Amino acid sequence: MRQVKAETINLLPTPDYSSIYTPGAIQPHGILFALQLPELTILKVSQNTDLYFETPANELIGRSLETILTRSQIEDIQQGFAENLGTLNPINLSIRNQDFKAIVHRSETTAILELESIYTSPSDPHTLTRKAVAKLQKTRTLDELLQQVVVEVHQLTGLDRVHIYQFDEQGAGAVVAEKTREDLPSYLGLHFPAFDIPSESRELYRNSLVRFVPDINAEPIQIIPNGHELDLRATVLRSLDPCCTRFYQHLNSAALFVIALIKDQQLWGLISCHHQTPNWLSYDIRSACELLGKFVSLELTHKVDHEEFNHWIKLKSLQSELIESISQTQNLRDALITPAPRLLDLVSAQGAAICLDNEMTLVGATPTESEISHLLTWVEDHIRDSLFHTDALPKLYPPAEAFKQIASGVLLLRISQVQTYYVLWFRPEVLQTIEWAGNPTVSIEVAENGSLSVSPRSSFEKWQEIVQSTSLPWKSYELNSVLELRSAIVGIVLKKADELASLNLALEQSNRELDSFAFAASHDLKEPLRGIYNNSIILLEDYADRLDPEGIEGLQTTVRLSQRMEMLVNTLLRFSQLGNVELHLKPTDLNEILAETIEMLQASRPDIPFDIRIPRSLPTIECDPVLINEVFSNLVSNAFKYNTQDHPWAEVGYLTQDELATLHPPRQESTPSVFYIRDNGIGIRSHHCDLIFKLFKRLHAQEDFNGGTGAGLTISKKIVERHGGQIWVESTYREGSIFYFSLH
Ligand code: ADP
């Protein structure tokens, strides 16, 4: 036994077996006729007729079958051809004192009649089959069933070696149950590469269900005349392909009997019986075994499905718990990872990563965040129908070699393409030792021109292949399960988005209504207010001499209050207009806007030296210049208003790309999008930072800082939001503030 590392053997080429259906010869334990319908003229015949009825084959060509059969036998055969379902097979025939089983099949134009010599079996196959079925019915698991099958078939056939051979998805097989003569070596657990039983042979088994070769070494009998070889796919006497013959010879087998096991119309496996010496099984025994094979196929389908069903039920309950959590929460990430094992159990993974936009959450054993980010970039081109999965990632994506111990297997589910939402599951490397029946690589011969061909290897001594960088494979029901999870998530998220959209719509509607109410109210208030003011002024100017000092003071208060009220009404009017006003977006040089702002400020307060610092020239951006001017004015004037320093200053600038990345959440924009106004003013206590953006909210009495109505920041906020941006403040009390606003 040798230990080697090798790439998986299943990748080896399959030899040409195309002549397997048309070998032009049969096995010697019977005769084969190709007949012309309807007269049953002999078109072709195997060359061994003289052995059975003393008439040489070449003398039969072109003659009617009546030359050798009686009228009533011909009628039976004709009926068999007419019925063409094979249910009349076999027909018992006695020809010149020799007993045969006659088997008929037909294609479009040609009919084939096979005559097989009769062998009687000592045992009664029907009783044995009944007993076998009764025992098989009692088995509970698939393993028990298969083990019992080999015991029963061994008993029915008496052959040396009976094993069940199960195919994998690539067509390679493994011996999964065995009953063998005690002195023979065991093949249990051994793997056979796909080319040992090529797809052509597998196709034959799928259609014919049983194959009997009583003497592998017997010389095949040619069918004459040759040329236009007959398709012998449906025949029982078809001779063995020379390549197959050598394969069985190397396995030390002299007789072969194979029963196909079918699941979901696919060849699931074979009950393969070998004998070291030639061995003839009666037709009845073979039919009994065929029947048993059909029963096993049904039972095995039931058992496999049942085992998968149990697992599937477990999976379903995990899945529905997960979906319920998702539907009840606002936070998809939390719903997926609480509790963490549930997400892993869903597909029997050891690790998972949830990537929601730029945020990544890791659960269990996973590669690092940066390794996963790189993997995500690569995988993008390999996703099909929202899924990517492999059980051998390092073979497809070499950087995975570095983390193959934890992630040789990857299953990726894309939840949303627009939002780059992914869930990835990881499975660790499982070093699999595959025991092959003989080193399959020695079967490969390289010709001088470099082409590869396969010839049966002569040794079946156990040979180990260690498969690396591979995880356990992802099962199809696991893939289906995550796809179902995706639909559920998408459904829930969409429903939530819908609800949010209709809420927003309602909110927008009520905002609009509020705006127009505010507009109407403030507009209507202006006139009476002006009246109160004007009348008070007239009273003060013309009737002051008739009023006592208290009356005058009262009137002066009325004037002041009406002025103040007018200011408030104007602010409200401005604010309510902002919601409806159309934006006039155009490329705007912010340096110019800032210069205008400074000029205006300077004009209104010529006494203050406005120290405004501009570390780097401001960009030109797409915005409404009039409105953005208002934002700059508000923020810059506040910087000097709320400032008690001897040398007040303000700095106006924008964040660089590096600085943008440090924001929470980080931003990645190539053009400047976040602007700031920093001052060395009085600062704002942190719990007031949100309050100041509310309408008419001031932190100080109006007269304290020569403040306004407390609407400047609210208006700035509304303008910034109308531009799709945000405004916020960072401040240290008594040291200064930075007002940021973003524009898209
Ligand atoms: P106003 O128009 O009355 O100045 P704002 O809406 O502009 O009102 O400001 C609201 C409140 O926020 C102000 O009353 C002031 O207390 C505070 N504030 C605004 N800007 C600054 C700043 N740069 N430094 C400190 N406090 C500020």
pLDDT in tens, 668-720: 777 788 999 999 999 999 989 988 998 778 887 767 887 677 889 999 999 99
What is the structure's pLDDT at 18?
A: 62
- CA terminus-to-terminus distance, the chain: 70
What is the structure's pLDDT at 731?
A: 95
Distances (CA, A) of 48 to 26, 31, 60, 115, 222: 10, 7, 11, 11, 8
Mean pLDDT over residues 350-375, rounded? 92
Closest alpha carbon to 403 in 431, 430, 429: 429
Instruction: Pick left, alpha or beta for residue 192 (phi over 0 → left; psi -120 to 50 → alpha; otherwise beta).
Output: beta
Report the nearest-CA residue for atom 16 of ligand 1: 699
Tell me, yes or no, whether 613 and 527 share the same domain.
no
Residue 25 C-alpha from the chain's centroid: 49
pLDDT above 70: residue 462: no
Residue 27 near residue 237 (C-beta atoms within 8 A): yes
pLDDT above 80: residue 307: no
Secondary structure tally for the chain: helices H, strands E:
19, 30
What is the structure's pLDDT at 178?
A: 95
CATH number, domain with residue 356: 3.30.450.270
Q: Does 137 fall in a domain?
A: yes
Tell me, yes or no, whether 501 and 565 share the same domain.
yes
Tell me, yes or no, whether 64 and 158 share the same domain.
no
Percentage of the residues of the chain whose pLDDT score is greater than 70: 90
Q: Does 454 fall in a domain?
A: no
pLDDT above 90: residue 6: no
In the chain, helix, strand, coil percent, each to 5?
45, 25, 35
Structure tokens at 671: 């053009």
Pairing of strands 649-654, 611-613: parallel
Domain count, the chain: 5
Q: Quote the CA–CA distance of 475 and 485 in Å, as a whole number.
A: 16
Structure tokens at 202: 């597998």
Pairing of strands 359-364, 387-390: unpaired
Alpha helices in 255-380 (DSSP H): 283-328, 332-337, 340-345, 369-379
Q: Quote the CA–CA distance of 690 and 703 in Å, as a whole number.
A: 22
Tell me, yes or no, whether 552 and 655 share the same domain.
no
Tell me, yes or no, whether 537 and 571 share the same domain.
yes
- Ligand 1 midpoint to CA 710 (Å): 7
Q: Does 69 fall in a domain?
A: yes
Q: Does 71 fall in a domain?
A: yes
pLDDT above 80: residue 647: yes
Residue 400 near residue 368 (C-beta atoms within 8 A): no
Report the nearest-CA residue for atom 20 of ligand 1: 638
- Ligand 1 midpoint to CA 639 (Å): 8
634 lines ligand 1 (CB under 6 A): yes
Q: End of a domain among 57, 85, 117?
A: 117
Q: Is the peptide bond before 193 cis (omega within 30 degrees of 0)?
A: no
Q: Does 502 fall in a domain?
A: yes
Q: Quote the CA–CA distance of 506 and 513 in Å, as a whole number.
A: 11
Alpha helices in 329-381 (DSSP H): 332-337, 340-345, 369-379
708 lines ligand 1 (CB under 6 A): yes
**Beta carbons within 10 angstroms of residue 545's beta carbon:** 6
Q: What is this structure's pTM?
A: 0.55
Structure tokens at 514: 């509020």
638 lines ligand 1 (CB under 6 A): yes
- Higher model confidence: residue 207 or residue 612? 612
Length of the chain: 744
- Ligand 1 midpoint to CA 713 (Å): 7
Structure confidence by residue, pLDDT tens digits, 401-429: 999 999 999 999 998 766 678 999 999 88
Structure confidence by residue, pLDDT tens digits, 114-167: 999 887 766 778 888 889 999 999 998 899 999 999 999 999 999 999 999 998
Residue 425 near residue 349 (C-beta atoms within 8 A): yes
Tell me, yes or no, whether 590 and 645 share the same domain.
yes
Residue 304 near residue 261 (C-beta atoms within 8 A): no
Q: End of a domain among 84, 117, 150?
A: 117
CATH number, domain with residue 31: 3.30.450.20
- Ligand 1 midpoint to CA 67 (Å): 119
Residue 355 near residue 367 (C-beta atoms within 8 A): no
Q: Does 148 fall in a domain?
A: yes
Q: Does 3 fall in a domain?
A: no
Structure confidence by residue, pLDDT tens digits, 10-28: 444 455 566 788 889 999 9
CATH number, domain with residue 507: 1.10.287
* 3-state DSSP of 99-122: EEEEEEEECCCEEEEEEEECCCCC
Tell me, yes or no, whether 168 and 271 share the same domain.
yes
Closest alpha carbon to 95 in 117, 120, 75, 79: 117
CATH number, domain with residue 596: 3.30.565.10
- Ligand 1 midpoint to CA 139 (Å): 84
Tell me, yes or no, whether 280 and 401 share the same domain.
no
Tell me, yes or no, whether 160 and 302 share the same domain.
yes
- Ligand 1 midpoint to CA 446 (Å): 86
Domain that holds residue 45: 21-117
681 lines ligand 1 (CB under 6 A): yes
Structure confidence by residue, pLDDT tens digits, 568-610: 788 777 777 787 778 899 999 999 999 999 988 888 888 878 8
pLDDT above 80: residue 497: no
Structure confidence by residue, pLDDT tens digits, 153-191: 999 999 999 999 998 877 778 899 999 998 988 888 888
Report the nearest-CA residue for atom 14 of ligand 1: 698
Mean pLDDT over residues 211-236, rounded? 91
- Higher model confidence: residue 670 or residue 297? 297
Residue 256 C-alpha from the chain's centroid: 43
What is the structure's pLDDT at 617?
A: 94
Mean pLDDT over residues 299-313, rounded? 79
Structure confidence by residue, pLDDT tens digits, 613-636: 999 999 999 999 989 999 999 999
pLDDT above 80: residue 392: yes
Structure tokens at 445: 């011969």
469 lines ligand 1 (CB under 6 A): no
Instruction: Pick left, alpha or beta for residue 45 (phi over 0 → left; psi -120 to 50 → alpha; otherwise beta).
Output: beta
Tell me, yes or no, whether 481 and 495 share the same domain.
no
Q: Quote the CA–CA distance of 136 and 73 in Å, as a whole number.
A: 40
Mean pLDDT over all residues of the chain?
85
pLDDT band at 53 (very low <50, low <70, confident <90, very high): confident
pLDDT above 90: residue 256: yes
Structure tokens at 196: 């040992």
Percentage of the residues of the chain whose pLDDT score is greater than 90: 38
Mean pLDDT over residues 653-665, rounded? 84
pLDDT above 90: residue 311: no
What is the structure's pLDDT at 247?
A: 80
For residue 278, what are the contacts with CB-CB under 8 A and spacing of at least 6? 214, 215, 216, 217, 218, 254, 255
Tell me, yes or no, whether 126 and 240 share the same domain.
yes
Q: Does 14 fall in a domain?
A: no
Report the nearest-CA residue for atom 27 of ligand 1: 642
Tell me, yes or no, whether 475 and 521 share the same domain.
no
Q: End of a domain among 486, 511, 526?
A: 486
